[in-house]
Structure 1
């Protein structure tokens, strides 16, 4: 069965290295906390808010060992008034037998406010 593993992180500035570092931190935590293997991944969607234009955060996913051939796509998040700014969101579509309630969704920095009900204890 394909399950979605969600994650989000915010950055303070729209700079390439800041965006790529944050995206890498997020994706590594998503992979690690869910024991995701690249061969089990169907695809990955990455979205950014309108105020992030300096880099494609999906780039760091392709650089992970074994992830070269995983289909990855970047897109813009819907620009809703008063929504969280400078935010990178990632959705990994993975083949897994893990129950929906046991998926570890990762929200870092100010993105925790998006889903406080899914906050994982470390």
Structure 2
């Protein structure tokens, strides 16, 4: 079965090191909580709000051993008035036997406010 695993995190500033580190942290939690192996991943889409321009956050995915062949794409989140700033969102499409209810979505920092209904 194909499932989506969501993750999001916020950063304090538009800096390469902070963006890569925060992205690495949220992706690491997604991998760990859902026991994801790179060969089970169809794709990863990462978006950032328009105020994050210092680096492609996909660089963080390449820091995980065995993930070099996983397709990943970065895009800009649509700009909605009043929406969360300095936010990185991840959608990981995986092959799994888990039900949607068994998937653990990961929201860190201020991004926890995005989906308090599905927090572990």
| TM-score between the two structures when normalised by the length of structure 2 | 0.99
Counterpart residue number, 1:97:
97
Q: How does 1:1-122 map to 2 (within 5 A)?
A: 1-120=1-120
Distance 1:55 1:6 in 2: 21
Distance 2:89 2:102 in 1: 20
Aligned to 1:93, what secondary structure does the other structure show? strand
Aligned to 2:57, what secondary structure does the other structure show? coil
> Cα RMSD over matched residues?
0.5
In the comparison of the two structures, how many residue pairs are matched? 120
Unmatched tracts of structure 1, length 5 or more? none
Distance 1:67 1:2 in 2: 18
Distance 2:63 2:22 in 1: 14
| TM-score between the two structures when normalised by the length of structure 1 | 0.97
